[in-house]
């Protein structure tokens, strides 16, 4: 696995990122498309307020020209009345516009978050095994959060500022084109510099988000319960702090660079805007002194008022350009995830399973599967090729064995046990049934139907899995059990708990079934967590059961209770169990012995012992020890 969020089969396309500006803008626009009606209301409100905003400076000119000319009192009342009413109308429209802008922005943010989370829910298991959890959390949290201000404020702000600038420039041109040319002469230069600064800002923003993702990954890994236990038991607290501090300093340096980028440029713009009124006074005063009748005192006052009205929106627009460039880097990271393919998806004609009619027969027909090479393995292959050229030896990295020509049938009411050395392919075999991975060759059928023709959700609902690493949510015992069957009654929950021999223990907890189990269930013992997990599968009542070392964390007494519960559960159901425990294997109707990704032996316990092959050796090495423990219990 590579640092910084690069993973084997899902590495972002850097060439695509380089030319993705327009495409990214189109994707962003797509999220706004469902709200076209509200956006139209916002646009109309902005145009109305921008137009009204231009009227006041014109009214100032008319008032001054009236007072220095005809001195019409009635006209003065009318002009002054309009100067009072128009700001009130503008404020009321502005409140409505702000409400709709924030409403649309938050709806778009919600759509973006849900789209990203939903897309990740359907990503293949390999993506999650090769990507750090902190990296994923950073994309959903930091990246999506980083674009919030752009989505909620920038679009309406950009339109509002553009409308203000456009209407003001029109008014300035009406007053005097020469003064307008003087005021706007430097804008093309400023626009070009803004574009250049924005490109740099976008790259710095991308690096900043990568650093934030690394920080999230470090925090998630080192401050989780498992990470803290590892740190404390290995005495690595100082090393963890040092690693965190280095990345924190790097993030701080990038954020300082991001904040300071272009500050000198905006300081220059601010200075220019501040001295422009003086230049207008000089030019307009020269015109008046030289007897130009097109320029009046009212014109100068109105023009400088319009100047003050235009400079702030112009500065905002230039700044927004840079902010948008920075936000586009975050959108690029978000869309990198949204554009990742769902390698395992429903076929167009996929069917749903009828739980009431399911028999639960699982058959493997010449199944082959291989893990895609990760970067370390690809490098090792290159090293191996170079080594062969000059006769050197090279050690390849360890990886799970691929599967080759796996064929067997697990019938309803029968128990099929998978045994063999660690890493031989047993767990991979069970992962192929619910399509956590897809086969590369051959076929897996459930009741005669290729699993690739079954809807994924339907497949998941009808297969029960208990893994050797039990996962419980940081919630109550009841919530963890209801995860299998949200509509289950309390009687059904308690019945499943009793069958898993955990009801009495739950009743002893401080709040019974409402007791919160803690992060990953760390408030419970390993055996208690495993029994709750088994109760969860019992409540699910699936026709196909996959037990991956399901009783590995249980003591002898609990195991006997669970074995009785599992025996009742397995009646009429297909059960495929990965186990090293003697009691499970002895009762198996079929034992499949794996070695290096292949089934090398098959048969019952007695038949395999008589064969005197790998199973017999494993039995002598491991299972007799278990038998001695059971006999002495």
For residues 98 and 149, the answer to whether their CB atoms sit within 8 Å is no
> Do 439 and 546 belong to one domain?
yes
Q: How far apart are CA 500 and CA 538, in angstroms?
A: 8
Residues 599, 522 share a domain: no
Please check whether residues 166 and 303 belong to one and the same domain: yes
Nearby residues of 184 by Cβ (< 8 Å), 6 or more positions away: 169
Measure Cα distances from 357 to 458, 576, 627 in Å: 13, 20, 40
**How much of the chain exceeds pLDDT 70, in percent?**
76
Contacts of 88 (CB under 8 A, 6+ apart): none
The more confident residue out of 618 and 450 is 450
- Residues 590, 522, single domain; the answer is no
Residues 246-275: tens digit of each pLDDT: 888 888 888 787 777 666 666 766 677 677
- Domain range for 8 is 3-338
Lowest mean pLDDT among 161-165, 392-396, 472-476: 392-396
pLDDT at 410: 93
Bridge partner list, 363:
409, 445
Whether residues 551 and 480 fall in one domain: no
What does the alpha-carbon distance between residue 481 and residue 468 come to, in Å, rounded to a whole number?
Answer: 18
Selection from 343, 574, 346, 573 nearest residue 458 by Cα: 346
In a domain, 344, yes or no: no
For residue 369, the model assigns a pLDDT of 93
pTM: 0.67
- In this prediction, residue 230 has a pLDDT band, given cuts at 50, 70 and 90, of low
Domain count, the chain: 3
Mean predicted lDDT score pLDDT of the chain = 77
In this prediction, residue 14 carries a pLDDT of 38
195 pLDDT above the threshold of 80: no
pLDDT for the residue 500: 80
pLDDT of 602 reads: 93
Same domain membership, residue 149 and residue 32: yes
Query: Is residue 418 predicted with pLDDT exceeding 70?
Result: yes
Tell me: do 151 and 232 sit in the same domain.
yes
Q: Is residue 128 part of a domain?
A: yes
Residue 592 pLDDT level (bands cut at 50, 70, 90): very high
Average pLDDT over residues 278-305: 77
Choose one of 532, 562, 582: the last residue of a domain.
532
User: So what's the pLDDT on residue 356?
Assistant: 78
Determine the pLDDT at residue 234: 59
Same structural domain for residues 565 and 507?
Answer: no
Which of 14-23, 170-179, 351-360, 362-371 is modeled with the greatest confidence? 362-371
Q: Is there a single domain that holds both residue 276 and residue 424?
A: no
CATH at residue 46: 1.20.1560.10
Mean pLDDT for 393-421 is: 76
pLDDT greater at residue 519 or residue 92 = 92
CATH code (residue 398): 3.40.50.300
Q: According to the model, what pLDDT value does residue 329 have? A: 75
Q: Which residue has the higher pLDDT, 280 or 112?
A: 112
Question: Higher model confidence: residue 456 or residue 131?
Answer: 456
For residue 576, the model assigns a pLDDT of 92
Q: Are residues 224 and 324 in the same domain?
A: yes
- Stretch among 240-244, 274-278, 402-406 having the lowest mean pLDDT: 274-278
My answer on whether 605 and 626 are in the same domain is: yes
> 355 in a domain, yes or no?
no
Q: Of 499, 532, 565, which marks where a domain is finished?
A: 532
pLDDT at 15 exceeding the cut of 50: no
Instruction: List the one residue out of 517, 512, 513, 550 whose CA is nearest residue 533.
Output: 550
């Amino acid at each position: 696995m590579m640092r910084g969020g690069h993973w084997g089969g899902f590495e972002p396309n850097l060439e695509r990122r380089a030319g993705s500006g327009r495409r990214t803008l189109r994707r962003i626009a797509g999220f706004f498309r469902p709200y076209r009606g509200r956006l139209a209301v916002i646009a109309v409100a902005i145009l109305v307020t921008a137009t009204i905003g231009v009227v006041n400076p014109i009214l100032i000119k008319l008032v001054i020209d009236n007072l220095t000319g005809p001195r019409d009192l009635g006209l003065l009342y009318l002009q002054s009345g309009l100067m009072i009413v128009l700001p009130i109308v503008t404020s009321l429209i502005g409140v409505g516009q702000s409400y709709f802008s924030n409403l649309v922005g938050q709806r778009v943010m919600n759509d973006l978050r849900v789209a990203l989370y939903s897309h990740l829910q359907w990503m293949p298991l390999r993506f999650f095994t090769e990507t750090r959890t902190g990296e994923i959390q950073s994309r959903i949290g930091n990246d999506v959060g980083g674009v919030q201000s752009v989505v909620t404020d920038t679009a309406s702000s950009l339109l509002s500022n553009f409308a203000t600038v456009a209407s003001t420039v029109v008014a300035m041109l009406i007053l005097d084109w020469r003064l307008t040319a003087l005021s706007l002469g430097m804008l093309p230069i400023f626009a070009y510099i803004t574009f250049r600064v924005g490109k740099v800002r976008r790259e710095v923003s991308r690096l900043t988000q990568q650093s934030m993702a690394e920080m999230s990954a470090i925090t998630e890994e080192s401050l989780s319960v498992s990470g803290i236990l590892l740190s404390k038991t290995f005495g690595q607290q100082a090393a963890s702090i040092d690693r965190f501090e280095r990345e924190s300093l790097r993030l701080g340096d990038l954020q300082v660079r991001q904040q300071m980028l272009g500050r000198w440029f905006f300081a220059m713009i601010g200075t220019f805007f501040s001295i422009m009124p003086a230049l207008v006074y000089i030019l307009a005063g020269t015109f008046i002194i030289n007897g130009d009748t097109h320029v009046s005192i009212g014109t100068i006052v109105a023009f400088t008022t319009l100047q003050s009205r235009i400079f702030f929106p112009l500065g905002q627009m230039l700044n927004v350009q840079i902010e948008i460039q920075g936000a586009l880097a975050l959108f690029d990271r978000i869309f990198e995830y949204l554009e990742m393919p769902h390698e395992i998806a429903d076929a167009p004609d996929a069917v749903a399973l009828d739980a009431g009619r399911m028999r639960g027969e699982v058959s493997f027909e010449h199944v082959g599967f291989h893990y895609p090479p990760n970067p370390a393995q690809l490098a090792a292959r290159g090293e191996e090729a170079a080594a062969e050229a000059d006769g050197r030896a090279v050690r390849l990295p360890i990886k799970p064995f691929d599967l080759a020509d796996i064929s067997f049938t697990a019938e309803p009411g029968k128990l099929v046990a998978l045994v063999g050395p660690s890493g031989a392919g047993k767990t991979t075999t069970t992962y192929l049934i619910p399509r956590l991975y897809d086969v590369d060759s051959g076929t897996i059928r459930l009741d005669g139907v290729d699993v690739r023709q079954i809807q994924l959700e339907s497949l998941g609902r009808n297969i029960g899995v208990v893994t050797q690493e039990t996962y419980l949510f940081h919630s109550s015992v009841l919530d963890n059990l209801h995860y299998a069957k949200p509509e289950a009654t309390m009687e059904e929950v308690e019945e499943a708990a009793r069958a898993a021999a955990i009801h009495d223990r739950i009743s002893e907890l401080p709040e019974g079934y409402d007791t919160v189990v803690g992060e990953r269930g760390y408030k419970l013992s390993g055996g208690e967590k495993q029994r709750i997990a088994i109760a969860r599968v019992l409540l699910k009542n699936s026709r196909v059961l996959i037990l991956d070392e399901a009783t590995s964390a249980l003591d002898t007494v609990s195991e006997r209770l669970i074995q009785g519960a599992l025996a009742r559960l397995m009646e009429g159901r297909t059960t495929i169990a990965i186990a090293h425990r003697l009691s499970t294997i002895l009762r198996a109707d079929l034992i499949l012995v794996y070695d290096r990704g292949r089934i090398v032996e098959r048969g019952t316990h007695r038949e395999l012992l008589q064969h005197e092959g790998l199973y017999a050796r494993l039995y002598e090495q491991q299972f007799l020890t278990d038998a001695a423990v059971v006999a002495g219990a």
